[in-house]
Amino acid sequence: MPERPQIERSMIEIRNVTRSYGSFKALDDASLTIREGEFFSLLGPSGCGKTTLLRMIAGFDNPTSGSISVDGQPMEGIPANRRPTNMVFQSYAIFPHLNVEQNVAYGLKRLKLAGTEERRRVEEALAQVSLTGLGKRLATELSGGQRQRVALARALVMRPKVLLLDEPLSALDKKLREQMQVELRRLQQAVGITFVLVTHDQYEALAMSDRIAVMFGGMIAQVASPKEIYQRPVNRQVADFLGGMNFVKAEIVEENGASLVLDTLGFGRVKTDKPKAFVRNGAAATLGIRPERLRVLWDDATAKFEVAGKVVERHYFGEITHLIVEIPGLEKPLSVTETNDFGADDIPVGTTIRLAYDPEALVAMAD
């Protein structure tokens, strides 16, 4: 795969930012660098501080301590209306007394452009979000998806250095949401503006982002590419938040530079990559494996690495089947997702089956 040219300049610098409300810390000593031109997501459950962080970048809230800079400029004391950022609000915040064109042109009015230039930019922004021809419509006459596009156009027309998106897809139905994910990603690549997205939907973050910061309880747990976040979560919380994960108790036998040797029940002695942010806490650790990385072995097929167990539950989901398999020695049964191509939906409960796995799929996590 061709490498992207490494001219990654930082666009947003968040340094030791804390936001307290009385004794409650909505954000606790968060530090983060967001690069120019990347699609960055802040992912976490509600109340994790992701929206607080976004609103502080926009200028609607201020850090109790720490600093935020955008494009090399410290943002302290700069109000929202003088920041090089624009936001797409969760409620879209379309001005109901203005039509689509007037909404999009709202911010341009202050720039005092020539009439033709203003018209050209409005038309261009509407074209970018495929709303050409709807300029005269009132906000009340638009569907949810169209309002979303107006909100996008209204922000993009300002040519911000950073576009902030606060759960922009949460109000849309599933199908439209998936369509908009693809469109947003395409749009971001076309305009090349840094996008910062706040979401609680892990699939949304995985599908759209260049990098993701996973947040819990006001702290940033991990910052990495979607693939790394999914495959190499730093702890159980991150692993759990990003889809299903089987957790197996493990004991650290050996720790060196880049690898770990763990002893487990069920999976035996395992050598794995040491996660980047691994902080050892005694000898105990956790080994994780995603349900889809366990494959059912049919008939006489064998694999270099396998475990055997008894199917105790079976759940049918159309294209996949979810099996719960009890493995001798493991305190919790394993979840296995198997595509239905080979008849996993017909495995009777009570059967003993063998599961193959790739040791590469095993991930060590600090306990």
Q: Which residues bind another protein (CB under 8 A)?
A: 58-60, 79-82, 85-87, 89-97, 106-107, 110-111, 139-140, 143-145, 154-155, 158, 171-173, 176
Beta strand extents in the chain (DSSP E only)? 10-21, 24-35, 39-43, 65-70, 73-74, 85-88, 162-166, 194-199, 211-216, 219-224, 246-256, 259-264, 268-273, 284-289, 295-297, 306-316, 320-326, 334-339, 352-356, 363-366
Looking at the Cβ atoms of 142 and 364, the one nearer to another protein is 142
Measure the CA–CA gap between 185 and 163, rounded to whole angstroms.
13
Measure the CA–CA gap between 360 and 289, rounded to whole angstroms.
10
Looking at the Cβ atoms of 80 and 261, the one nearer to another protein is 80
CB 144 → another protein: shortest distance, Å? 4
CB 89 → another protein: shortest distance, Å? 5
Measure the CA–CA gap between 14 and 28, rounded to whole angstroms.
12
CB 92 → another protein: shortest distance, Å? 7
Measure the CA–CA gap between 66 and 217, rounded to whole angstroms.
18
- Helix, strand or coil for residue 103? helix
Looking at the Cβ atoms of 90 and 340, the one nearer to another protein is 90
Distances 71 to 29, 74, 144 between C-alpha atoms, Å:
21, 8, 33
CB 155 → another protein: shortest distance, Å? 8
DSSP state of 57: H
Query: Is-contact 244 233, C-beta < 8 A?
Result: no
CB 187 → another protein: shortest distance, Å? 19
CB 50 → another protein: shortest distance, Å? 17
Looking at the Cβ atoms of 81 and 302, the one nearer to another protein is 81
Looking at the Cβ atoms of 51 and 235, the one nearer to another protein is 51
CB 317 → another protein: shortest distance, Å? 25
DSSP state of 333: P
Looking at the Cβ atoms of 171 and 356, the one nearer to another protein is 171
Looking at the Cβ atoms of 122 and 334, the one nearer to another protein is 122
